[in-house]
Structure 1
């Protein structure tokens, strides 16, 4: 389990409504997902990142759930989750121009 006393990353925007104490836990969820399942990342534009993930049959639902929870606290994200074939998931992440720095940080984590 992630340390709840970790400092908030500098790139987390003020617009994020997730309680500060929960932010390291959410970040740990994404880090665990990316470590376990990412097979590639592609920047399709300054405001658009596509992440390709591979895993078991429950991967798409897990990614959808995590993306939905992230959208609840950071509504500027536009996540699209597709499963073009069993075990393969594409996570498209788009942000407005004012949040490109946040997408840059996500791309670095991928």
Structure 2
């Protein structure tokens, strides 16, 4: 049975163990990362999202720290941060039963961005 998506937070699943009061702050942190650092979005597989980020030590550290905290409350996510060939990428994978969460996360990455 798919997890319900919290309507007010967009992609925070009901299975999230982060206290409810902390969820809007976490979503805001991800939104800020998406706005500041995401330069490209690809969906190579239904269960995998690839975000091309601005190549900088600060953005790498920020993405690593944020995704480590997120994995602590939503352990179904697999985050892979890759620094290679002058590029920085963050891949987000989920099991098939959480594809709706990844769909909503992808929608947040592109919200407000020009097509």
TM class, shorter-chain normalised?
0.7 to 0.9
Shift of residue 109, structure 1, vs aligned partner:
1.2
- The 8 Å contact of residues 8 and 23 in structure 1, kept in 2 or not, is answered as no
- Range with greater deviation from structure 2 (76-85 or 43-52): 76-85
Corresponding position: 1:15 with 2:18: no
Query: Alpha-carbon deviations, 1:18-70, whole Å to 9, x = none?
Result: 00000000000000011011100000111000000104322111111101000
Q: Which runs of 5+ in 2 are unaligned?
A: 1-6, 110-115
Shift of residue 11, structure 1, vs aligned partner:
4.0
Highest RCO, 1 vs 2 (Cα 8 Å, sep ≥ 6): 2
- Range with greater deviation from structure 2 (76-85 or 9-18): 9-18
Superposition RMSD in Å: 1.5
Q: Provide runs of 4+ in structure 1 moved above 6 Å.
A: none
Q: Alignment partner of 1:44: what SS?
A: strand
Q: Which runs of 5+ in 1 are unaligned?
A: 1-6
- The separation in 1 between residues aligned to 2:55 and 2:11, in whole angstroms, is 29
- TM-score between the two structures when normalised by the length of structure 1: 0.86
- The separation in 2 between residues aligned to 1:50 and 1:97, in whole angstroms, is 16
Shift of residue 10, structure 1, vs aligned partner:
5.3
Q: How many residues align?
A: 103
- Range with greater deviation from structure 2 (48-57 or 9-18): 9-18
- The separation in 1 between residues aligned to 2:30 and 2:10, in whole angstroms, is 17
Corresponding residue of 1:4: none
